[in-house]
A and B are shown apart, each in its own frame.
Chain A
């Protein structure tokens, strides 16, 4: 069974700082998703990463995928309070089955 591990699970950081969330997974996959969830809300798609070496950026967020290392990262640059949310990585294990990590609860202090 595929395991998806995120770390850290909780992150409190100051505005203006940079940080990285890590997502490791245990079996081969060529497709990985990052989602954002605000408290009590649905999941908002941030990135779809399709291949080894894929890098995508949107605003202060940048995601990358290393399929050989089975590792994805979500990097936050110069954090702002609006980025406070829970961030999930999710790995496609085939046959339309997606396994989510436990999520990283990000709290950005003003």
Chain B
């Protein structure tokens, strides 16, 4: 079964450094998402992306964050100047249809996540 893949599985970075998290969504999916989960807490929406544009973003997704689909397969999340509180598990997800599509009963498919540790 096709799956969302994320790299690296674990990233350790010094505070203030830039980090790029990479995701390869399922190949025929059109909608892409990033979430984060601080250890032991709930999953928080960061951003959704469709047709090379951000569709929606949360309050967490401030100017330090950016997303890009640099080619036909990768979807990246960049954090420009990391803070200690950015330490979390970051999940990428993709879906074939928008959540607004009345024909879709498909969920978002999640990758295994990247554990980001900021020192």
**Which residues on A sit within 8 Å (CB–CB) of B98?**
96
The CA-CA distance from A47 to B108 in the complex, in Å, is 11
Query: Is B74 part of the binding interface, using a Cβ–Cβ cutoff of 8 Å?
Result: no
Closest residue on chain B to residue A6 by CB atoms = B42
Contact, CB under 8 Å: A102 / B42: yes
Contact with B along A74-110 (1 / 0, CB 8 A): 0000000000000010101011111111110000000
- Closest CB in chain A relative to B65 CB, distance in Å: 15
Interface size, chain B (Cβ < 8 Å): 26
User: Contact between B45 and A95 (Cβ–Cβ < 8 Å)?
Assistant: no
- Per-position binary interface string of chain B over residues 72-109, scored 1 when its CB falls under 8 Å from any chain A CB and 0 otherwise: 00000000000000000001000000111000011111
Residue numbers in A under 8 Å from B111 (CB-CB): 42
Asked whether A41 is an interface residue with its Cβ less than 8 Å from the other chain, the reply is yes
The CA-CA distance from A33 to B99 in the complex, in Å, is 11
B110 touches A96 (CB 8 A): no
Across-interface contacts of A95 in B (CB, < 8 A): 48, 55-56, 100
* Contact B42 A103, beta carbon cutoff 8 Å: yes
Q: Which residue of B lies closest to A4 (CB)?
A: B42
Shortest distance from the beta carbon of B119 to any chain A beta carbon, whole Å: 20
In Å, the complex CA distance between A89 and B48 comes to: 19
Given contacts A96-B31, A101-B42, contact A45 B99 (CB under 8 A): no
Question: B residues touching A (Cβ–Cβ < 8 Å)?
Answer: 31, 33, 35, 41-45, 48, 50, 55-56, 58, 91, 98-100, 105-113
Can you report 17 A-B residue pairs in the complex whose CB atoms are below 8 A from each other?
A: A31-B99, A35-B110, A42-B113, A45-B107, A48-B106, A48-B107, A95-B56, A95-B100, A96-B31, A96-B33, A96-B55, A96-B98, A96-B100, A97-B45, A101-B42, A102-B42, A103-B43
List chain A positions with a Cβ less than 8 A from chain B.
31, 33, 35, 41-45, 48, 50, 88, 90, 92, 94-103
Q: Which 4 A-B pairs have the closest CB atoms?
A: A45-B107, A96-B48, A100-B43, A43-B110
